Structure 1
Amino acid sequence: MRAARLAALALLPLAAALAGCVSVTANDYSDRPERAAPGDFGEATLVNAAGARIGRAVLTQGATGLLIRIEADGLTPGWHGVHIHAAGRCDAPFTSAGAHVNHGDPKAPHGLLNAGGPDDGDLPNIFADAAGQVRAELFTTRARIASEGPGQWLWDADGSALVIHANADDHASQPIGGAGDRVACGVMAAG
């Protein structure tokens, strides 16, 4: 009897925690005009400076931002900066992709850690393993592929491109956080 009572007492914190979970409801943002249409998707074929296909980026629109899944091979092992660039062109050395997208303020300073930033093209770094392989997911609220919603619309008249840089982005220094050369690029297109 005592063992059964102890077991029941031991389960009380778990039951209380689960009861709390049951009463939690998801946030309903349907009344917010900036809500984007989830489910839109697109893709970018990533190429290196020699024009060889090295991977892809799959873009999926969420209700509050854009999920970008990057799968690539053949990169130098280590950290690499990734940015969304304003023009949908990837002619090596990828300067044809232009500068970062900047919705509203083209003078917004670069950097996720910059007090005055970030600009709309800033993304977290990705890591290539010892074999040069990347498998990563990034999320941004500053860009979108849905026709309406928050952030920079990536499929405007001249499109946009995802660019991978040679080095890590320090997320603060100008103009690109010390990320270095553009080593891979992919034009973003509707799926």
Structure 2
Amino acid sequence: MRCIPAALVLAGLALPAIAQDKKDEAPVPVQTFESPIVNGKNEPIGKITIRDGANALVLRVTIQAGGLAPGWHGLHFHAVGDCSDPEKFEKSKAHVNHDKRAHGLLNADGPDEGDLPNLFANADGSANGEVTSEMALTGEDSLKDGDGSALIIHANEDDHTAQPIGGAGPRVACSVIK
């Protein structure tokens, strides 16, 4: 019986030491990355800013006036950081999808890692949006892996269920993440 109170006393003494260790840990620094967004004529139309913290990646998309057609546009992370074919941006390959999941934020078998919410362009073609992702900027299976990745903006809205890209249509803008 005396073992239980002694164990409780020892555990009580250890807890402040464990808590102190947590206080001594340095916070994870936020990494920031910026890249231009180009259209199908390889002209800059805006930029992306990525902030990668301990719990999430925050992506901010800024498009200048005239950059996009007004309305909703699908946004996806694609597997290769290559926007060198501006006519279609196909060198960026398919979505980032390490887990081989189905496309769609609203799909019961999804989402894949490249799926993001839609971006709305104003009547003047400008847009500002901010979304979060569980993707990491650096490290294994990250956006800045060996061949990088790309943020692709599509001509149409993503319905978040249809395969393979939710009806989002052609790729109209691209930003390299390397």
Shorter-normalised TM range: 0.7 to 0.9
Q: Which one of 65, 77, 97 corresponds to residue 102 of structure 1? A: 97
1:1-191 alignment runs, 5 A limit: 37-73=28-64, 74-90=67-83, 91-92=85-86, 93-103=88-98, 105-106=99-100, 108-141=101-134, 143-147=135-139, 152-189=141-178
CA RMSD of aligned residues (A): 1.9
> What is the Cα deviation at residue 63 of structure 1?
1.6
For residue 162 of structure 2, what is the amino acid of its counterpart?
Answer: S
Contact in 2 for aligned 1:37/1:61 (Cα 8 Å): no
| Secondary structure of residue in 1 paired with 2:176 | strand
Aligned residues between the structures: 151
| Secondary structure of residue in 1 paired with 2:172 | strand
List structure 1 segments (4+ residues) > 2 angstroms apart after TM superposition.
none
| Secondary structure of residue in 1 paired with 2:161 | coil
Structure 2 segments unaligned to the other structure (5+ residues): 1-20
Query: 2:132 and 2:35 mapped to 1: Cα distance?
Result: 16
> What is the Cα deviation at residue 140 of structure 1?
0.9
Query: 2:102 and 2:28 mapped to 1: Cα distance?
Result: 29
CA gap of 1:154–1:37, structure 2 versus 1, over 3 A, is farther
Query: 1:44 and 1:184 mapped to 2: Cα distance?
Result: 12
> What is the Cα deviation at residue 37 of structure 1?
3.9
